[in-house]
């Protein structure tokens, strides 16, 4: 994906992303309401008193989307539902907006939390406060079942002179080029399904994307004779290229964010996070290791 800017979200956005009322947890939600959290406010106390909190999503599977029954689901809404339940807030409501409007809408008090799997970047950290990392998104390859060429890294693609499929303008193309994969071995495509078809039809040996997205793609296409390799973090020029997603809060809502962090960490440590996230293609590989911190990612290190 584009490595600065909006990263992966420009490519994984679902269809219908207009702002509006959505269903989450069984109720029809009204339009966006002011949820507190301005300077001097107490967003956590207000949520506990009302029993309700509003979150923002962007309509992207598997991160946060509306399913065919009209229910909002995905990794981030389901984790948020568990966290807020443990905080004594039983009604989690969702508003859907374009991805690039999530932080502006958050800061305009349209909702209290962004629950959209948003990657932590220095640019975004200037405008809002991120939770501890919710997940990491290692790179992986979609390969023919059995992975006969044994591909595990971009260096393997170079060494074996294989054709690699990537999404047009995606960060994986940049990773490949900086890892030494010649342009002649890289084929760009405009959708995840195109990546799948390229591998199935042998136009490319493998396709590179995050393991989360590839696991979701394989889960939705069980008849395809493909599999996903183990996720890895590309190390280029001695620097790990880590992509980590998190929940986002207004900078003033320190109490809410810290309480959320405490409960999120409990879910991760107990194994409950894996249980909640696994239906959406997430595995233990996506749990953030201790060395991946919001502070470091915000600093660009």
pLDDT number for residue 252: 96
Work out the mean pLDDT of the chain and round it to a whole number. Answer: 87
Q: What percent of the chain has pLDDT over 90?
A: 72
- pLDDT, residue 301, reads 75
**Structural domain boundaries of the chain?**
9-136+243-299, 139-240
Q: Which residue has the tokens 């973090």?
A: 233
* Tens digits of residue pLDDT in 231-244: 999 999 898 889 99
Q: What is the pLDDT of residues 11-61, one digit of tens each?
A: 343 333 333 445 454 333 333 344 444 444 699 999 999 999 999 999 888
Mean pLDDT of 122-151: 97
Kindly report the CATH number that applies to the domain delimited by 9-136+243-299.
3.40.190.10
pLDDT given for residue 275 in this prediction: 98
pLDDT band at 268 (very low <50, low <70, confident <90, very high): very high
How much is the pLDDT for 143? 98
Q: Stretch 242-255: mean pLDDT, rounded? A: 96
**Domain 139-240 classification at class level:** alpha beta
9-136+243-299 and 139-240 in the same fold: yes
């Amino acid at each position: 994906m584009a490595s600065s800017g909006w990263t992966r979200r420009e490519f994984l956005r679902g269809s219908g992303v207009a702002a509006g009322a959505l269903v989450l947890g069984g109720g029809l939600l009204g339009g966006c309401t002011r949820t507190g959290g301005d300077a001097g406010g107490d967003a956590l106390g207000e949520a506990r008193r009302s029993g309700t909190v509003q979150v923002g999503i962007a309509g992207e599977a598997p991160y946060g989307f509306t399913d065919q029954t009209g229910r909002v689901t995905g990794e981030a809404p389901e984790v948020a539902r568990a966290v807020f339940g443990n905080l004594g807030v039983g009604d989690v409501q969702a508003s859907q907006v374009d991805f690039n409007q999530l932080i502006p809408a958050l800061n305009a008090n349209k909702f209290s939390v962004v629950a959209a799997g948003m990657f932590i970047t220095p640019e975004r950290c200037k405008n809002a406060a991120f939770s501890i990392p919710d997940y990491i998104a290692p790179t992986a390859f979609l390969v023919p079942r059995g992975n006969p060429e044994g591909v595990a890294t971009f260096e393997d693609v170079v060494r074996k002179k294989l054709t690699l499929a990537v999404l047009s303008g995606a960060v994986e193309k940049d990773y490949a080029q900086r890892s030494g994969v010649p342009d002649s071995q890289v084929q760009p495509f405009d959708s995840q399904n195109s990546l799948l078809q390229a591998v199935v039809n042998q136009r490319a040996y493998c396709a590179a994307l995050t393991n989360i997205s590839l696991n979701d793609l394989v889960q939705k296409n069980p008849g395809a004779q493909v599999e996903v390799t183990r996720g890895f973090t590309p190390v280029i020029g001695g620097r790990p290229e880590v992509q980590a997603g998190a929940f986002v809060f207004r900078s003033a809502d320190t109490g809410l964010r810290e309480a959320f962090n405490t409960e999120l960490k409990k879910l991760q440590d107990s194994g409950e996070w894996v249980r909640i996230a696994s239906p959406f293609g997430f595995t233990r590989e996506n749990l953030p290791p201790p060395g991946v911190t919001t502070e470091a990612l915000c600093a660009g290190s």
